[in-house]
A and B are shown apart, each in its own frame.
Chain A
């Protein structure tokens, strides 16, 4: 095994002098969260203490190693979760390190009952568990120190891992071994938020040093003696099937060792990537075209428009929409269109698998350890506990690395099994862009009846697009009466519509051969655009300022109102922008957080330029302001890519785009200045990795309208 691989050892294998700090497991201990967050009374919650030994090691060298139950894909959970522990443990931040945890039951995420990363949930979803682990460890360390110093824990003070009693001091490392022999406390008290020294304070990332000198290890970087590289030929069109293949030319390529079938395609296994890639290029494969001819974009759009003429499965239905529409003083009817999108994480997919003595080792960047473990176990016919998942740094995930079908991992396992060799698959960028599991294409038909003042009184919203959840393990929870909640999230319960007495949201979920998946902020990527653009159109139709119109509809929704007002104020809404520029706004709630954005744009030779984006973010409370700012900037860039460029089109099931020249990412010269203003509302904490993604496209579209008078109703935005 390479150093990269072996250093991921855990529990009891800590390097050097460090000794794992074990908190003995008590039976049914309880935690009293005496200091709950703002406003909450000292409420004793009867939940078992998490086993701190699984999450925390304290070395005799005073090092503190935090085991992370989630995957680091850029979102900075790698820093935020150790901050939570440090807050309670009162250890020395400069000695804190983090590691990905292995795949095991103890690391299952209480919010979802499985080990996973997604839904912008890692930090707020672990807010209690990781703080409690820190508090438990501190309790035991102080108890051990008190014994050594012949006193009681309450007479000790601790600062940065140094325990003081009168003139005597002890470090955590010096008492770690004794502490591990003590029984687990029945309860621990968490700090009062007013005493926080770490939470809420700007903290630099713990993973920066290894990410700036090339030593951080991604799945792509896994190497060990004997490991081969596999490059796979997959169907050139969705729905196409392998008929036959001739591998003689591939096997003649220097370095190619084997060619094997996978469920969908043909894998070329070689001593390195380049040989495997040349080998794949040399394969002669006969594919059978999809029986129905495959998806073609123009045809699909026409079909979606046909479907949108009638309501689909009912998601929300309040009042008599048809009657209210008929008696409305005025009406707008608009369609909004959205293309398929690839996630295109910077690191193309890859997965290393080794099968030896009935055990499987998997090295990859994944968001879904629990699913992967089960899927790989099935391929090899072993128990899930015989599958070790070594989570490497993820070179971006955005949802693509969280697939309940574990597609790229199962494929790698199949190849390892068929060849009997340790192999690492490497996808090319073309494989990635053409590989499916996209954000689905959607069409929204929005019909709004308004009263004489231009305020909505009837709202009929038809959505057409593939279901992400259908056919997957989440179907039972997410698909209700034929409505995939993720296709319509943010519509039925949208705060703008609260006062609208007649509303209907319905959904058509046509099936295609194109596999689809969640893409950073999921359904909000299209629902926020439809809502915020429609509201903007209504404001204009009513002759009202877009801010004033929104505020009128949002009356009583304090958090929304505050976010909109803050973003508007900071963006100088109401004062004229520089000549040749205009502003547009949008607000959307998702993943428990509310984000308002004001974009300032110009048009330069027919090209939309976004100069600045002012964001007001209410995620309840902030753990790391630096992390929040980075996630908002990143989400804006991600959403802007979709707003300005992102589009996959198909002909006979074949994706026309293939790499960054025709599936364009946002680049440096297109990056606006993003200002991030957070609101410490004290509301229930929400996520931050995704919620700023959705508002940017409508904010830009609305600004473009203000500037040019053109309503651009489909993405990517293209001026006439």
Chain B
């Protein structure tokens, strides 16, 4: 099976019903994408599938097909992404384990909604659990990222 991951085509030998998360982590060594629940409840495993945030822990690798997968390792291809800059600025992370997923979901959010409201943030981010409780700074950082993104587009 061939998968498009972070701009390159990777050969994968694992059976097609293996969740994409474990292909990424165990076969391809892309361990930035995390395992938190295995049942689409926490968002730690979030990747982009053609730009859309997707829970890789419940997605059979074979079902990815030709769609392009972006992981946290591929988010900053052209220099730090707006969300990463904002995350540094707002000093968001604590243990950090949920943060790959938070960043991937947030990046997709500001792509879809360049000026997200607090309600948009609630709707988009409530699937991403943070046991350290970084939510307040995640929210702050998303507003900031939206500004950074707009500034860069000007």
Give me the interface of A with B, judged by CB distance under 8 Å.
72-76, 204-205, 207-218, 220-221, 223, 229, 254, 272-274, 344-348, 393-398, 426, 428-429, 626, 630, 633-638, 659-661, 665-669, 671, 673-674
Contact = CB atoms under 8 A, between A and B. Distances in A.
Contacts of B84: 212-213
Contacts of A254: 15
Nearest to A73: B95
Contact of A626 (B30, B91, B123): B91
Interface in B6-60: 14-15, 18-19, 22, 25-27, 29-39, 41-42, 44
Among B30, B93, B99, B100: residue with most chain A CB under 10 A: B93
B32 A214 contact: yes
Contact of A348 (B18, B26, B31, B35): B35
A622 to B, nearest CB: 15
Interface string B116-154: 000001110111111111111111000000000000000
Contact of B39 (A204, A211, A659): A659
Contacts of A661: 39, 41
A214 B44 CA distance: 11
A346 B131 contact: yes
A475 to B, nearest CB: 29
Tell me what chain B mostly uses at the interface: helix, strand, loop, or mixed.
loop
Among B87, B121, B122, B133: residue with most chain A CB under 10 A: B133
A634 B134 contact: yes
A212 B94 CA distance: 11
B37 to A, nearest CB: 4
B133 A212 contact: no
A73 B84 CA distance: 21
A676 to B, nearest CB: 10
Contacts of B131: 344-346, 396, 398, 638, 665
A76 B39 CA distance: 30
23 contacts: A74-B94, A74-B96, A208-B93, A211-B99, A212-B88, A212-B92, A213-B73, A214-B30, A214-B31, A214-B33, A214-B72, A223-B26, A274-B14, A274-B26, A347-B34, A398-B131, A429-B41, A633-B134, A637-B135, A660-B42, A665-B131, A667-B129, A673-B136
B75 interface: yes
Contact of A75 (B92, B94, B137): B94
A275 to B, nearest CB: 9
Nearest to B37: A429
Nearest to A203: B91
A605 to B, nearest CB: 16
Contacts of A397: 95
B87 A273 contact: no
Interface of B: 14-15, 18-19, 22, 25-27, 29-39, 41-42, 44, 71-73, 75-76, 84, 87-88, 91-100, 103, 121-123, 125-139
Contacts of A630: 91, 94, 134, 137
Contact of B72 (A213, A635, A665): A213
A37 to B, nearest CB: 26
Nearest to B31: A221
Contacts of A211: 93, 96, 99
B136 A346 contact: no
A273 B92 CA distance: 30
Contacts of A214: 30-33, 71-73, 100
Contacts of B134: 630, 633-634
Tell me what chain A mostly uses at the interface: helix, strand, loop, or mixed.
loop
A671 B136 contact: yes
Contacts, number: 178
A592 to B, nearest CB: 21
Nearest to A343: B131
A220 B34 contact: yes
B96 A636 contact: no
Contacts of A221: 31
A429 B96 CA distance: 18
B108 to A, nearest CB: 15
Given A208-B87, A429-B36, A637-B133, A74 B76 contact: no
Task: Name the 7 nearest CB pairs between A and B, nearest first.
Answer: A214-B32, A637-B133, A395-B97, A211-B96, A74-B95, A74-B94, A214-B72
Contacts of B96: 74, 207, 210-211, 216, 218, 393, 395
A346 B127 CA distance: 13
Nearest to A272: B26
Nearest to A204: B91
A674 B97 CA distance: 22
Among A217, A229, A272, A673: residue with most chain B CB under 10 A: A272
A538 to B, nearest CB: 31
Contacts of B76: 213
B29 A223 contact: yes
Contacts of A346: 34, 36, 42, 44, 95, 97-98, 129-132
Given A346-B130, A660-B129, A667-B126, A208 B91 contact: yes
A208 B22 contact: no
B132 to A, nearest CB: 4
B43 to A, nearest CB: 10
Contacts of A396: 95, 97, 131-132
Contacts of B25: 273
A217 B25 CA distance: 12
